[in-house]
Chains A and B, each alone.
Chain A
Amino acid sequence: MNVGTRKILNRSFTAVGIGSIVVMGIALLIVIVPIIYNGVGAVFFTGTIEHRNMLYNEFGEGDEAELAKQNAAAGVYRKEVYAMLAGFEAELEAMESERQQEFRSKYGSVRNALTALMGPLPGDTGAMLTRFKYGQTRWEKAEEKLHEFLYEAKWDYSDPDAMAKEYYVSRAAEFEGTSLVKIFPYVEKHLEEIMRPEFTIYLGFLTDSSVDSHIFGGIWPEIQGTFFLAIGAMLFAFPLGVIAAVYFTEYAREGLFTSMLRSANSTLAGVPSIVFGLFGLAFFINTLGVSESKSVLAGSLTLAIMILPTIIRAAEEAILSVPRTYKEASLSLGSTKWNTIMTVILPAALPGIITGGVISLGRAAGETAPIIFTAAVSVGSAIGLADVFSSPTPALSWNIYNLASEHEAAAEIRHVQYGMVLALVGIVLLLNLSAILLRARISKKLKG
């Protein structure tokens, strides 16, 4: 190969390298930016008076006097709306029956759209479910509902040979010639006065329990459950993993048996997590009976088995990277093997061991499959420390999946889902960051 071709090859390799880094960066941006943007929207958003009422009634948060003042101010405009409704209802009663029939169902959908926007109207029976007790709590949702109130979505089925297209009909036009026609421009014009949007910082999203299966409220039970599961897994896996690594590096004799153990460990690291989930159900719950039903304990044990191989590998590498001279110096001073391991080798290997541990902790926090059958529930309250042996818990990873697919009102509460995603990413990031800091601190100390 002459120098020219080598140069070209070299350059093109550099270009491919830079290119792949750029692609990775863009991919990261595409993934991370929407997560952060939408996730932050769960805490920082433009909230309406319905949000403040909900907070006051469900959690007792907020200033009562201030809220009463705001409600009174909004009430002035709401009363106008109610009066228009009452006026039309009287008019409806007076109509001849054929026209009345025609308007009654149309009026029903107007009332429904208005209820969705601003909460229960006078004459409604009080709702049992919290989701029907309030109107839209977020301004952008309120604007969406306003559109639904002003325009009816219809489908054009005129061509039977093609799929229909959606089009919108102004409701005002449908009520032409009745007194209700005034209500549409009125609500459109005074939406701000009726809903009183205000920039809101809802930190309670992180610390409150959910209300009415995540329609309102926060995600505290999920955050807590995630911590319990991850820390529980660590309590089992970390000591076991370090002990196993010490055995592999210091005690085990190289031979068929050890190499088999090693390759078994590597294989275990590559087993899909759903297999661990099913194993956990079959072994910990059905065979050992560590708990009667799904529980944090069973979930932690399952996660522990899943992260164990990674911890063993990381600890092994860390121990092997301790210079031989440390060990030899210690032994030559007459120290026993056990003493050498405890006082010389393990402290020197600690930064590496901890890094491996915390990365596994992050993985345990984020895994869904192992906890589906062993620990996770879709709705539940935060559990106390005393309940971890018997109670299952909601957890971020599983609830994100649940909200994305199974929840009956999934499209209405995307912000909660994004909030959970950001919280989970945040937790994992925080754990990794603390690993880096801890490692730096210990290394510095070791160097003296």
Chain B
Amino acid sequence: MKRVLFMMAMFILAVAAPAFGAANTIVLDGSTTVGPLAKSFAAYFTKKYGVKVMVSESGSGNGAKGLINGSCDIATLSRAMKPRELSAAKAKGISPVQHIVALDGIAMVVHPGNPVKNLTKAQIAAIYTGRFTNWKEVGGPNAKIVVIQRESNSGTQEAFKELVMGKTAQISKDAETQASNGAIKNRVASTRSAIGFLGLGFVDRSVKPVAVNGVLPSVATVKSGSYPVSRPLYFYTAGQPTGTLKKFVDLPKTVDGKRIVSELGFVVK
């Protein structure tokens, strides 16, 4: 009995012992679109300065809430903070400061087998409001369109609505909801008649981006502004950052930071 207890104690100690100290951590929370950037910056920052950085991806809305509640140091958002969030922050005595990390295009993606190459904004809006329900109506094969959207918490969803459909438009009730960029990619890659939207950095061979108003999403077209569905990605801090936090927020402006941004398929601001 004693030996067992002793062994258990030793085991717990062995699990717990390494890495005492180093209490200084930076906590990031928010957008799944900014996730890959935040994670790569975190790895780079930890390696270079020895400061621990924790990243979670629970959606832009939760990131903003986290910053207001003080549960994270940096909120990563794929949209600008809303007036409602700003006033909630003010009520708590926090003045959020915006930092642009990168630019990102929202790519409209379909299954690679879908012959549709181009959609106009109006067509996309019609698909998402439920007016078009068959690919035939936009020049594709005769197949029912499976419309996929993000959850209400998503900044990409809000940016998409604002840029493509107009603020007041309602997305059809038949649209299916997925909780992250990765989940939309998986769903579209495995569903022949699906359409969804993704941050540019998530697009790979498993899905096919379609041109919007004749422009394909790419680093070049987002940078030049000719791709119509693009938006900046943000870090938000509570007040002007100082010390290590400032160093982290300024990463996207450094040479190495810019390289990380472009290697991940995002667009350097």
Q: Contact residues of A with B, CB < 8 Å?
A: 127-130, 132, 153, 155, 157, 159-166, 211-213, 224, 227-228, 231, 285-286, 292-294, 372-373, 376-387, 390-394, 402, 405-408, 410-411, 434, 437-438, 441-442, 445
Contacts and interface: CB of A to CB of B under 8 A. Distances in A.
A378 B35 contact: yes
Nearest to A389: B23
B71 interface: yes
Given A157-B115, A411-B206, A392 B54 contact: yes
B21 A153 contact: no
Contacts of A160: 115, 139-141
B57 interface: yes
B180 interface: yes
A164 B117 CA distance: 12
Contacts of A408: 35-36, 181-182, 201-202, 264
B40 to A, nearest CB: 6
Nearest to A294: B71
Contacts of A227: 12, 15-16
A228 B12 CA distance: 9
A294 B63 CA distance: 12
A380 B55 contact: yes
30 contacts: A128-B256, A130-B43, A155-B113, A163-B193, A164-B113, A164-B115, A165-B113, A211-B43, A378-B39, A378-B55, A379-B39, A379-B43, A381-B19, A381-B46, A381-B52, A384-B20, A387-B25, A390-B23, A402-B57, A405-B180, A405-B186, A406-B179, A406-B180, A406-B182, A406-B183, A407-B182, A408-B181, A410-B186, A411-B206, A434-B8
Contact of B112 (A155, A373, A376, A441): A155
Contacts of A390: 23, 25
A441 B3 CA distance: 12
Of all A-B residue pairs in the complex, the 8 with the closest CB atoms, nearest first, are A380-B54, A293-B71, A384-B19, A406-B180, A213-B39, A377-B54, A377-B56, A164-B113
B106 to A, nearest CB: 15
Interface centre among B12, B16, B36 (most CB of A within 10 A): B16
Contacts of B181: 406, 408
A290 B15 CA distance: 24
Interface of B: 1, 4, 8, 12, 15-23, 25, 27, 29, 32, 35-36, 39-40, 42-44, 46, 52-58, 66, 69-73, 111-115, 139-143, 179-183, 186, 192-193, 201-202, 205-206, 208, 256, 259-260, 263-264
B46 A406 contact: no
Interface centre among B21, B39, B53, B140 (most CB of A within 10 A): B39
A182 B254 CA distance: 42
A130 B263 CA distance: 11
B46 A405 contact: no
A211 B182 CA distance: 20
Given A129-B263, A292-B71, A410-B186, 14 more contacts: A130-B43, A228-B15, A286-B69, A379-B55, A381-B52, A382-B18, A384-B22, A387-B23, A390-B23, A406-B181, A408-B35, A408-B181, A408-B264, A445-B1
